Chain A
Amino acid sequence: MKQEEWIQRLDRHMDGHQEQPSHDLWGGIEASLNGRTGQQPAVQPKRQARFVSLRRWAAAAALVGAMIGGGYFYWDREQVQQPSTTVSPTGTEPAILSHADGQTDTGVITPEQSVTDKLMAVVEQKIRTEQTQIRQEETLQAMNQIAEQTETAPAQETSGTTVETAPSQPQPDQIRQPEHVRQESGIVRRFGRQVRQNRQLALGIHTGGNTSGWENVNSVQMSHITRATTTANEAQARSNYLESYEEEQKHSRPISFGLTVSYPLTDKFTISTGIVYTDLHSDLNTLTRGVRTHKGQDLYYIGVPLNVQYRVWEYKGLKAYATAGGQADWNVKAYVRQDRVNQDIKKDDLQWSVAAGMGIQYNIIPQVGVYAEPGIRHYFNNGSNLSNYFKDKPTDFNLQLGLRVNL
């Protein structure tokens, strides 16, 4: 109480005390006021200053630029090719087809021909070679049978260029017998047995779908000649061609990039739509008689999603939500890349899908935000023959990134 009394006495004693300022203090006050009022019009309603953080705009611009740049590099990536078949497309020297086992076939290929034509010519040459081998085998078998029956089998001289047969047998056409046939006769016989055993399997594989020319469907690379087969020999040649056929498909998991708009339905629920870009990449490797072929398949989809979001949590510009909805994807571009040559293929049919998951969004500015939506997506079978990730894994984890405009 005594301290309180001291305080009150001091306060009362000093109350009303005034000190004289310097003569130019009011001038300074006036100058300050004039300086402020001079910047504003005479009659202007007071407005609260809006401070727009340039840092946020700079961060938004940097993020958009990074996404565009990153997306460009991601989509424009070069495919690493490992061709096991080498074809010299230029020059006048004949093209050489190298096999894994060291055999070589030469075909007459001119530089003016396209890569497709060159490949067709090479395969045709191979088929002719196979046909020749088959005919030779049959001839030898027939001759052996005759020799066993008559015990006076005529001498057969096989050279590197001609094959002589028994007079009772119809003369086969004069054909060139490559040297490796005699050396690999065991392989030929084994080849013959394998052909009989694997015929059904071979046919089963290549009935995945065939289109004209060199279009690739289900990664089975077929010449149009093999389609137009009516004779047994040609069917045999096709089976031989598909002997030891191995096929490997690797579908990369897609990542989608979206540009969407959202419209609030209620305080918690929001509906969003927009466009989504999806790139499907697949590596298709085939192994045919020791020859490995690698192709890259790229499918580009533009999709329109329709999702409903339920906001779970929000703090300042960051929010987490649950999302569910559907999407329709149109295949806008499809091609196969082999030996650095792109070949358009038939586009995929309309792809429907449904998805559910969680999302997280950060609003760089109140109107624009970036989001990431991991979840589960199921792709309905659209009935097309195109082999892609959607068919390989119809229900799988999905990640979508993008920009969202908040209406």
Chain B
Amino acid sequence: MAIGLRYISNRDEAEDVVQDSFVKILTSIEEFRFQGEGSLKSWISRIVAHKAVDSLRKSERVTFISAVPDTPEEEEQAEETAIERVPPDVLTRMIANLPSGYRMILNMHVFEHCTHKEIAQRLGIKEKSSASQFSRAKQLLTNMMEEYLKQNQI
């Protein structure tokens, strides 16, 4: 559910994605090949993430903003942010509130561990575009986290 909510801000729609994902998991369980501890969790997570991406592309108008180079000041600012001080559920909401393109690329790169090349192939964009979109997404998320921390004086 947490994976679905990271991709899709609407809870009902996220639950639909999770429901469809579990139906597929349970009906295709014979296709799973155990490859060590954590492989089942990874397999399930991958299915849910793929379903979420497909649902997102169908329902929302996903736009990929053209590449904007990051400035050195922004990069330094991102590194200092205390990510660990933001609760995970809040972070989940923050990620879900990112623009759809940023959201997809950040989830795929950070949580699915896809390279920018793989992301570009899957979404039909250029590799450079994926990298720049991620940088922008990271910047926005950092700003959100800092804003949250300031408001809550954590």
Contacts and interface: CB of A to CB of B under 8 A. Distances in A.
A145 B5 CA distance: 132
B109 A10 contact: no
Nearest to B16: A28
Among A10, A29, A36, the most chain B Cβ lie within 10 Å of the Cβ of A10
Interface string A144-176: 000000000000000000000000000000000
Given A6-B83, A7-B109, A33-B27, A17 B78 contact: no
Contacts of A367: none
Contacts of B123: none
B23 A32 contact: yes
B110 A13 contact: no
A29 B23 CA distance: 6
Given A14-B88, A25-B15, A19 B78 contact: no
Nearest to B22: A29
B89 interface: yes
Contacts of A25: 1, 15, 18-19
A21 interface: yes
B138 A6 contact: yes
B23 A22 contact: no
B104 to A, nearest CB: 16
A6 B22 CA distance: 31
Given A28-B19, A33-B27, A19 B110 contact: no
Given A17-B2, A29-B19, A33-B23, A6 B78 contact: yes
Contacts of A36: 23, 27
A9 interface: yes
A2 B23 contact: no
Q: What is the predominant secondary structure among interface residues of chain B facing chain A?
A: helix
Interface residues of A, number: 22
A9 B109 CA distance: 13
B54 interface: no
Interface string B77-91: 011000110101101
A5 B86 CA distance: 17
Interface of B: 1-2, 5-6, 11, 15, 18-20, 22-23, 26-27, 75, 78-79, 83-84, 86, 88-89, 91-92, 109-111, 135, 138
26 contacts: A2-B79, A3-B78, A3-B138, A6-B79, A9-B83, A10-B91, A11-B110, A11-B111, A14-B6, A17-B88, A17-B89, A17-B92, A18-B2, A19-B1, A19-B89, A21-B18, A22-B11, A25-B1, A25-B19, A28-B15, A29-B19, A29-B22, A29-B26, A32-B20, A33-B23, A36-B27
